[in-house]
Amino acid sequence: MSGHVPVLLDEVVATLAPRDGGVYLDGTFGGGGYARAILQHAACTLWAIDRDPEAIERGATLVAEFPGRLHLLHGQFGDMVALLDQAGVSALDGVVLDLGVSSFQIDDPQRGFSFRFDGPLDMRMGKHGTSAADVVNTLPERELADVLYQLGEERASRRIAKAIVAARREAPVETTGRLASIIRSVMPRDKSGNDPATRSFQALRIKVNDELRQIEDALAQAVSLLAPGGKLVVVAFHSLEDRIVKRFMSEAAGRTGAPSRHDPGGLFLREAPRFRLLTSRAVRPGAAETDANPRSRSARLRALERLTPSAPLGHDKGLNP
């Protein structure tokens, strides 16, 4: 499996701690990097999901390498309960989610994810439904600006949306190259060195693939599937993803603030948390990894463990930078 470098691989495997006979899920199979490492670490069974049919096709080689142990499911990780139920799986010893887009998708101009190559403005991970071209050519200007601001955290969203709408009056915006050119024409060069189109392309990708809702659904379903002692390990790559993961795990571990003394709810006993944080703060790649793989720089790993009924609620444990 070439073309994709799994990020924080050693940390993911160490936190998941696969055991012989365990049953695990890789919710974002991609290039199979995590899957291979998990299967090599322990004589376990691994189910893997990917919405991209090309990822499922690529995975056939790895399935043959681990006969009877690796099982691929085509679908969205936000539907993991239904997908696993159809396969007769109702409980897991661990779940790994690597959020965002894979290098296979970014580096293929025909998939339309990157402004670095000119290709069709697509961005659909599952190759069906509304494309990025549909979004930029049909959304009203205000709605388009909202997408760029909310999902890309682009402060110049209104200026960019106005330029896109003006350009599409002349001709539909159908390629990544033209969209990037439109954005660059109204944006100064970023002092950080990032391309001015970066945040807008991120926003459109998230919108097209409904990524934030998928993440919320996947987190809730993952913890519902965990057996006692089971772990959820998530690697996020930008602030929107990481905020969702951090909030979800903090709430699941009972790390929400105590109610005000003036709040009547404070009179009732709070339910003991059923989960424990394994990372008191996000684990980040070291210098060696970021030097070797610059795409890993923004990665953040967070993890959660389902408590066994007799487990103490003691202090966090696990990987902490």
- Helix H, strand E, coil C: the string for 149-173 is HHHHCCCCHHHHHHHHHHHHHHCCC
Q: In the chain, what are the domain boundaries?
A: 9-98+211-306, 110-209
Closest CA to 24 of 51, 43, 47, 40: 47
What does the radius of gyration of the chain's CA atoms come to, in whole angstroms?
21
Tell me what pLDDT residue 178 has: 97
| 51-to-30, 38, 79, 134, 211 alpha-carbon distances in Å | 9, 20, 10, 20, 12
Beta bridge partners of 236: 300
Contact residues for 223 (Cβ-Cβ < 8 A; gap 6+): 232, 252, 275, 304, 306
Closest CA to 58 of 37, 29, 99, 79: 29
Closest CA to 233 of 139, 98, 134, 110: 98
Mean pLDDT of 68-76: 97
52-79 CB burial, b ≥16 within 10 A, e <16: beebbebbeebbeebeeebbbbbbbbbb
Mean pLDDT of 65-91: 97
What fold characterizes domain 9-98+211-306? Rossmann fold (3.40.50)
Assess whether pLDDT exceeds 80 at residue 257.
no
What angle do the packed helices 239-252 and 211-225 form, to 10 degrees?
A: 30
Beta bridge partners of 70: 46
Assess whether pLDDT exceeds 50 at residue 317.
no
Beta bridge partners of 92: 226
Mean pLDDT of 225-250: 96
Give the burial class of 294: count Cβ atoms within 10 A of its Cβ; 0-12 exposed, 13-18 middle, 19 or more buried: exposed
pLDDT tens per residue, range 149-181: 999 999 999 999 999 999 999 999 999 999 999
Closest CA to 276 of 303, 242, 245: 303
Mean pLDDT of 41-55: 96
Assess whether pLDDT exceeds 60 at residue 313.
no
What fold characterizes domain 110-209? DNA polymerase; domain 1 (1.10.150)
Assess whether pLDDT exceeds 90 at residue 192.
no
Contact residues for 96 (Cβ-Cβ < 8 A; gap 6+): 12, 16, 24, 25, 26, 27, 28, 34, 38, 233, 234, 235
The residue among 186 and 5 whose pLDDT is bigger is 186
3-state secondary structure 243-310: HHHHHHHHHHCCCCCCCCCCCHHHHCCCCCCCEEECCCCCECCCHHHHHHCHHHCCCEEEEEEECCCC
Closest CA to 99 of 211, 254, 213: 211
CA 240 remoteness from chain centre: 10
| Most confident range, picked from 150-164, 257-271, 301-315 | 150-164
Contact residues for 246 (Cβ-Cβ < 8 A; gap 6+): 282, 302
Residues in the chain: 321
Closest CA to 93 of 230, 224, 232: 230
